Amino acid sequence: MIHTTRAALLSAAAATCLALPALAADGELVIATPTLSDQTMTPWSGSGQRKTYLDLVYEYLVYLDPEGNTEPGLAESWEMSNEGKTWTFHLREGVPFSDESCGDVTAEDVKYSIERLVAEDSRAGPASTMRRIIDTIDTPDDLTVVVNLKAPDFLLDKGYFGEAQQLGIVCKSYIEGLAAGADTAAPVGTGPYVLDHSTDGSEVVLTLRDIDHWRVSPDWETVAIRIVPEEATRVAMLQAGEADIAPVSFDSIAGLKDAGLRIVSAEKTWSPVIRLGGTVQTDEARFNKENPWSDVRVRQAMNYAIDKQAIIDELFAGEGTVANGDTPVAAWDSVQPYPYDPDKARELLAEAGYPDGFDMTLKTFATTPGAELPLMAEAAALYWADVGINATIEPGDWPSIRTEWTSGKALDFAMTHRGFPFPNPENGVEAGFSTQSLFASFTSDDLEALMAELAAETDPAARTEKLTEIGQYIRDQAGAVFMVLANEPWAVGPDVGEWVIDTAYVYNFDTVGKAE
């Protein structure tokens, strides 16, 4: 007895010794990520950050190509009617769920997935805004879903129903068979991978389904997504060959390239910006007229005063472009960013009655991506000091700053912030600049009117034009201090071949190639 135990121990020890060092195995793609968020497994039970793993399991009605154009997904085709208030999706036939008892995707599954995502207890990011627009859902036959909206949404396919959002299609009968609150149970979807295991606070491991998948044919048998909060550790994992893919900071890029690793950048996927609090001019309670920046000339001066290109070169390793808005929006490409012109800034400040500048508070925090925000705040303050604006920087953390920001009070400070592109840019405009959004920092009657005109417009070309007009207005009004449309750098190891990131939250881990 003792002998066998000892023998077993010895062989176990030998086996673990042989496993050293813990290199990523052949056929296993290891992704080191700062967070797995909630590690829950249903689309409605948490944030979009879980898309790194959920997108391998669940599929969407509509996919996007790298240019942001729609591609058929679980819906083979779709059409909009009734002036944007009715959307009809025709489903692809014969797409099987990973659980045999579920069979193929039907209209009932899609209807259930939508209803579950917008239910009151849903924790998905877009749940509340989707709840406001979705009225009823009809399923005239097994492969047709008709979505009736309370208000027009002309970009439902790219937006809420597209792959950049959270409407993954689930198997209705499987979910209904689970005990209530079983949101961490193994997910059942139509994607190319199934969950192997999820270790709380540690990793999510997925394995490839043994089928001829309709959409992709992945190169990797296993995908392991591990939580590694510390960036230096992620970089070490890449260098030691323990990880194949990891997001890295701008600071690390040069070193990683020297070490022979490649950088894949997601272009313009987040936007460092400085938002000016208390400029919700359409809401008495949230409009603080005491702020110097309640005057448009001061807001413009604050934009002119900063050499944003210098900040991009120094803090963002050149990975970004000078921002012309608070988030990247394709329709705003013609909108020109504020040039660096300190003389103009001084002139505008003098005109507005602040020839000697003023004192202000700028709150800042670090996050991922967004480790650079506090340094960006310092840099902005230095440029402002040059024109007389004396900004006191208050470092904080996002939870407390956001609590204050959404408190509904007349704010008297500015904050650094990190925006993401919205798959439907109209939702982004709404979040940042409409009175009904708790988060809004700048609103005006003119802007509300422009947004109402946009909502009423049914012609796609005219809508794009209107959106451009809105972008130009927000830029001219200096609705924020626009800073950078930044890239998001990821380092990839030698085993990884072709890989393209479409946009924020669309990482395409199921199309990562293997090196030759």
Partner 1 sequence: MLRQITGRLIEAFAALLLMSLVIFLLSRVTGDPVALLLSDSATEADRQMLIEQLHLDQPMWRQYLSFVGNALQGDFGQSVNAGRQDALDLVMSRLPASISLAAVALAFTLVVGIAMGVVAAVTRGSWIDVLVRVIALLGQSVPSFWLGIVLIYIVSVKWGLLPTSGYGTWQHYILPALTLGTFTLAAVTRLVRASMLDALGSEYVKLARVKGVSEATVIFKHALSNSLIPVVTFMGAFFATMITGAVVVETVFAWPGIGRLAYESIVSRDFPVIQTVVLVITAMFILANFAVDMLYLAIDPRMRDAG
Q: Which helix (H) or strand (E) holds 419?
A: strand 414-419
Q: Cα–Cα distances in Å, from 454 out to 157, 325, 451? A: 18, 18, 5
Q: Is 183 in the site for partner 1 (CB under 8 A)?
A: yes
Query: Binder to partner 1 among 439, 468, 472, 511 (CB under 8 A)?
Result: 439
Site string for partner 1, 61-100 (x = CB under 8 A): ----------------------------------------
Find the part of the chain contacting partner 1 (CB under 8 A) among 109-117, 286-294, 394-402, 494-502: 394-402
Distance in Å, CB of 213 to partner 1, minimum: 28
Find the part of the chain contacting partner 1 (CB under 8 A) among 18-26, 71-79, 290-298, 481-489: 18-26
- Closer to partner 1 at the Cβ: 218 or 328? 328
Find the part of the chain contacting partner 1 (CB under 8 A) among 34-42, 298-306, 342-350, 451-459: 34-42
Q: Is 397 in the site for partner 1 (CB under 8 A)?
A: yes
Query: Binder to partner 1 among 146, 186, 431, 455 (CB under 8 A)?
Result: 431
Q: Is 438 in the site for partner 1 (CB under 8 A)?
A: yes
Please provide residue 269's backbone torsions phi and psi, each rounded to the nearest 5 degrees: -100, -5
Q: Is 22 in the site for partner 1 (CB under 8 A)?
A: yes
Task: Please give the structure tokens belonging to residue 149.
Answer: 């909206």
Distance in Å, CB of 398 to partner 1, minimum: 8
Query: Binder to partner 1 among 70, 416, 427, 487 (CB under 8 A)?
Result: 427
Distance in Å, CB of 21 to partner 1, minimum: 5
| The Cα angle at residue 16 between residues 13 and 22, in degrees rounded to 5 | 160
Bridge partners (DSSP) of residue 31 are 225, 245
Task: Write the burial class of residue 179 (CB in 10 Å: 0-12 exposed, 13-18 middle, 19+ buried).
Answer: exposed
Site string for partner 1, 99-138 (x = CB under 8 A): ---------------------xx-x-xxxxx---------
Which residues, 6+ apart, have CB-to-CB distance to 289 below 8 Å? none
Report helix, strand or coil for 30.
Answer: strand
Distance (Å, rounded) from C-alpha 218 to C-alpha 203?
Answer: 20
Find the part of the chain contacting partner 1 (CB under 8 A) among 17-25, 157-165, 189-197, 471-479: 17-25
- Closer to partner 1 at the Cβ: 181 or 212? 181
E strands, 111-261, in order: 134-141, 144-149, 193-199, 203-208, 222-227, 245-247
- Closer to partner 1 at the Cβ: 39 or 269? 39
- Closer to partner 1 at the Cβ: 322 or 329? 329
Closest CA to 473 of 419, 429, 435: 429
Site string for partner 1, 213-232 (x = CB under 8 A): -------------xxxxx-x
Task: Please give the structure tokens belonging to residue 94.
Answer: 């014969």
Distance (Å, rounded) from C-alpha 19 to C-alpha 23?
Answer: 8
Find the part of the chain contacting partner 1 (CB under 8 A) among 42-50, 271-279, 379-387, 485-493: 42-50
- Closer to partner 1 at the Cβ: 30 or 348? 30
Cα Rg for the chain, rounded, in angstroms? 25
Q: Is 339 in the site for partner 1 (CB under 8 A)?
A: no
Q: Under the phi-then-psi rule, with left for phi > 0, alpha for psi from -120 to 50, and beta for the rest, what region is 436?
A: alpha
Find the part of the chain contacting partner 1 (CB under 8 A) among 135-143, 204-212, 346-354, 405-413: 405-413
**DSSP collapsed to 3 states, 34-98:** CCCCCCCCCCCCCCHHHHHHHHHHCCCCEEECCCCCEEECCEEEEEEECCCCEEEEEECCCCECC
Count the residues of the shown chain that bind partner 1, applying the rule CB under 8 A: 59
Query: Binder to partner 1 among 11, 392, 400, 458 (CB under 8 A)?
Result: 400
The sign of the torsion formed by the CA atoms of 350, 353, 356, 360 equals negative
Find the part of the chain contacting partner 1 (CB under 8 A) among 92-100, 194-202, 469-477, 493-501: 194-202
- Closer to partner 1 at the Cβ: 242 or 457? 242
Distance (Å, rounded) from C-alpha 326 to C-alpha 482?
Answer: 6
Q: Cα–Cα distances in Å, from 389 out to 271, 302, 311, 359, 382? A: 23, 8, 18, 6, 9
Which residues, 6+ apart, have CB-to-CB distance to 146 below 8 Å? 86, 87, 88, 89, 137, 138, 139, 140
Task: Name the site residues for partner 1 (rule: CB under 8 A).
Answer: 16, 19-22, 32, 37-40, 45-47, 120-121, 123, 125-129, 181, 183-184, 199-202, 226-230, 232-233, 236-237, 239-240, 242, 397-400, 402-406, 408, 427, 430-432, 434, 436-439
